[in-house]
Amino acid sequence: MKKLNLNIRAEVKIAIAVAGLFLLIAFSERKQSGVVCKDIVVDLENTNENHFLDEADVLRIIESTGQSIIGKNIDEINMRALEIKLESDKHISKAEIFGDVKGNLTINVNLRRPIARLVRSDGPDAYVAEDGQVMQTSEKYSARIVLVSGAIVNPLIEKGDLYASDEGKQLMDMIAFINKNQFWKAQIAQLDFNKAGKIFIYPQVTGQIVEFGLPENFETKFQKLMVFYKEILPQMGWTKYERVNVEYEGQVIAE
C-alpha cells in the first residue's frame, strides 16, 4: 500500500507541474496578446567571421515583404513568412523571429560561413559556404579563402549546391581537409581545374605549380607533397623546380 501511495503522490506532483506550466504559457500568451510592436532588434551571428550582411540589409529584406511591423500587434505579425523571406537570401542559413511583452520584435540571423571562392572570367564570382550552398559575392566584404577556378566552376554555380553533384562533394571534402590543416590552409592559394577534372594547385609561398590530378586519394597526395616541401626543397632550393607532380601513386616528380 505504501508503494501505491508513493506512486499516486508522484503522479499528482507531475500533474500539478504540468498544469502549472500550461497556466504559465497561457498567462504569457495573454500578456503578449495585444502588445504593439515598438522596435525591431536585429541579432546577427558570425559577424566576426564575415560581413556579407549588416543590420540595415536585414531590415531591407523585412521591409521588402510589405508587412507593416512597427505599430502592429505582435500576435498579428506573420513571423514565419518573415523567416522564410530572410532564409531565401543565400547568405543566411537560419532566421528566427519572436516578440516579447515589451513590444520588441527580435530577429536572430545566422550567416553562412564562406570556405572557398569560385572564380570565373565569363561571369561574376561566387562563394561556397560550409554547407555547400553557393552565395553571391558582396561589395562589403571579401573573404580571404582558397580560390577555385577552371572548367568545374560554371556547373557548380549553376547547380547552386556543391552537394548536388559528385564533383562538388569531392571538392567539399578536399576543401574541408585543407582548411583543417593550418599549413595547407596558409599555403594553398588556388585550385584550378582543367576540362578533364584534374587540379593544378597554385601555392602562396613556393613558386612550384603542383600537378595534383583528380580530387581523389587527396590525403595521400598531400602527404607526398609535404615530403617534397620538408625534405627536397630545403636541400635543392626553393626556386629550383617549376612544377611538381603528385598525381601518380608512389611517385613525386619535380622538374
**CA angle, 126 then 132 then 136, to 5°:** 20
Q: Report pTM.
A: 0.79
181-205 confidence digits (pLDDT tens): 999 999 999 999 999 999 999 998 7
Tell which wins on pLDDT, 234 or 50. Answer: 234
Position 238 pLDDT exceeds 50: yes
Give the pLDDT confidence score for residue 234 in this predicted structure: 79
What is the CATH number assigned to the segment(s) 114-254?
3.40.50.11690
112-160 confidence digits (pLDDT tens): 999 999 999 889 999 999 999 999 998 878 888 999 999 999 999 999 9
Domain ranges of the chain: 39-111, 114-254
What is the rounded average pLDDT of the residues 219-245?
A: 84
* Residue 44 grid cell: 546577427
163-187 confidence digits (pLDDT tens): 999 999 999 999 999 999 999 999 9
Looking at domain 39-111, which of 3.40.50.280, 3.10.20.310, 2.20.25.90, 3.30.43.10 is its CATH number? 3.10.20.310
Instruction: Please state, rounded to an integer, the average pLDDT across all residues of the chain.
Output: 85
Answer whether 156's CB lies under 8 Å from 167's CB.
yes
Residue in the block written with cell 525591431: 40
Distance of CA 208 to the CA centre of its chain: 31
Instruction: Give the closest residue to 206 by CA, choosing from 170, 248, 252, 239.
Output: 239
* Residue 94 grid cell: 537560419
Give the pLDDT confidence score for residue 20 in this predicted structure: 47
Give the pLDDT confidence score for residue 161 in this predicted structure: 95
DSSP string, 48-111: TT--S--HHHHHHHHHTT----TTSBGGGS-HHHHHHHHHTSTTEEEEEEEE-TTSEEEEEEEE
